[in-house]
Amino acid sequence: MSQQDDIEYQLDTLAIRTGHTRTFEGEHSEPIFLTSSFVCESAADAAAKFSGQIEGNTYSRYTNPTVQAFEKRLAVLDGAEAAVATSSGMAGVHAITLAYLKAGDHVVCSRAVFGSIISLFEKYVIKFGVEVTFVDLEDLDGWKKAVRPNTRLLFIETPSNPLAQVGDIQAIADIAHAQGALFAVDNTFCTPVLQQPLKFGADLIVYSSTKYIDGQGRALGGAVVGSAKLMEEITGVIRTLGNSLSPFNAWIFLKGLETLSLRMKAHCASAQKLAEWLDAHPKVEKVYYAGLPNHAGHELAKKQQSGFGGVVSFVVKGEREGAWTVIDNTRFLSITSNLGDVKSTITHPATTSHGRMSAEAKQAAGISEGLIRVSVGLEDIDDIIRDISRGLDLI
């Protein structure tokens, strides 16, 4: 796609064609620039590049063509001006805190965010004099009440993990902006294929590309997406800290974006089937999937998402013993906490991802002993259902 092309292409075309400028070799697939530095033509050329007078690569902690291709492609899919790739999803969240918070500031964060994000705020960011209040994702009144004159950042993940709570992006953006605060959305579960948070007023999007963007469980990485202006400071932080994305991982994610749309549709279709099957099963007490009309976030998810995602959680009878029976009687589902993979994965949140929480905190967060989370992969859905049914029949 040439720079001059003024046609408005659809997402599926952009995901395959954006970001790569063909080199003089005429390569068809995007090349991996595995090089730590770049050679200048002369001392004057080096001086001009290092001073920023002319654009050009100098060192891969700053820029790398493969990483830039991934950044451009991801930004376009989100309808954003810019993206900055990071060495992991957590590196992206960390960059947001370093770029936009200082001593004396206050953050309001959803209680239902990825566990390491809670630790980042509670254990580390707090050391630098930044206060954090955690609120219930769905409680808009709670968000309004938590905001203070010194609030600088609101942070959510929607739909949440593992209970698929849905946050109202537009409403929380309005609360943030009334206070002059930034609003960041972790869009790892939906990806730009299913949800584009900037359209509903978010300022920043953060991704763990380790999940669906890779799609085959190979590499760690992430990105922050937003306006060119907001990305300036994030770029500065990443270049200085050095948690930049490796060109090899960038290439994996770049190729992942090409099939992301097809994969997300397939994940959604299978997850919907599994959720409906579980919902009708006598050994299942509750199913958490926003694609079910009885789910509290169903209508809101329909408004801001174009699909309900690939993660289904459910509570089985028999508490921990029941849940472990289901998990241990699967034959091919992987007992691993990664998600967004073509391979289906199954976990028991109460003793793994949420195992460090106190019993009271788990109860408050709805992480019961009978809860199981499945990231529905792309194996045949009837085989997936049979694998899960084996243990259910034994409870």
Among 86-94, 140-148, 271-279, 304-312, which window interacts with ligand PLP (CB under 6 A)? 86-94
Encoded tokens for 250: 């960038």
Question: What would the x/- binding string for ligand PLP be over residues 103 to 142, using CB under 6 A?
Answer: -----------x----------------------------
Q: Verify binding: residue 263, ligand PLP, rule CB under 6 A.
A: no
How far is 10 from 290, CA to CA, in rounded Å? 26
3-state secondary structure of 314: strand
CB of 390 to ligand PLP, least distance (A): 28
Q: Verify binding: residue 208, ligand PLP, rule CB under 6 A.
A: yes
How far is 246 from 61, CA to CA, in rounded Å? 9
How many positions of this chain bind ligand PLP (CB under 6 A)? 14
Q: Taking a C-beta distance cutoff of 8 angstroms, is the pair 64, 247 a contact?
A: yes
Among 62-70, 82-90, 175-183, 194-202, which window interacts with ligand PLP (CB under 6 A)? 82-90
Of 203 and 341, nearer to ligand PLP (C-beta) is 341
Q: Which of 73, 106, 211, 263 binds ligand PLP (CB under 6 A)?
A: 211
Return the ∠ at Cα 353 (arms to 225 and 315), rounded to 5°. 110
CB of 22 to ligand PLP, least distance (A): 30
Among 27-35, 204-212, 242-250, 346-354, which window interacts with ligand PLP (CB under 6 A)? 204-212
Of 189 and 200, nearer to ligand PLP (C-beta) is 189
Question: What would the x/- binding string for ligand PLP be over residues 296 to 335, using CB under 6 A?
Answer: ----------------------------------------
CB of 288 to ligand PLP, least distance (A): 15
Beta-carbon contacts of 154 under 8 Å, excluding residues fewer than 6 positions away, are 107, 108, 109, 143, 147, 172, 175, 176, 181, 182, 183, 184
Among 88-96, 194-202, 245-253, 381-389, which window interacts with ligand PLP (CB under 6 A)? 88-96
Q: Taking a C-beta distance cutoff of 8 angstroms, is the pair 162, 311 a contact?
A: yes
- Map the footprint of ligand PLP across residues 153-192, applying CB under 6 A: 157, 161, 186, 188-189
Query: DSSP per residue over 232-300, as a string?
Result: HHHHHHHHHH--PPPHHHHHHHHHHHHHHHHHHHHHHHHHHHHHHHHHT-TTEEEEE-TTSTTSTTHHH
Beta-carbon contacts of 70 under 8 Å, excluding residues fewer than 6 positions away, are 19, 83, 85, 223, 245, 250, 251, 253, 254, 257
What single DSSP character describes residue 27?
Answer: -
Beta-carbon contacts of 342 under 8 Å, excluding residues fewer than 6 positions away, are 215, 216, 217, 263, 377, 378, 379
How far is 382 from 165, CA to CA, in rounded Å? 27
CB of 99 to ligand PLP, least distance (A): 17
Return the ∠ at Cα 340 (arms to 91 and 17), rounded to 5°. 80
Of 99 and 113, nearer to ligand PLP (C-beta) is 113
CA 299 and chain centroid, separation: 22
Question: What would the x/- binding string for ligand PLP be over residues 213 to 242, using CB under 6 A?
Answer: -------x-x--------------------
CB of 160 to ligand PLP, least distance (A): 8
CB of 301 to ligand PLP, least distance (A): 16
Encoded tokens for 172: 């929380």
Rg for the chain (alpha carbons), in Å?
22
Q: Verify binding: residue 48, ligand PLP, rule CB under 6 A.
A: no
Q: Verify binding: residue 256, ligand PLP, rule CB under 6 A.
A: no
User: Which residues are near ligand PLP by CB under 6 A?
Assistant: 88-90, 114, 157, 161, 186, 188-189, 208, 210-211, 220, 222
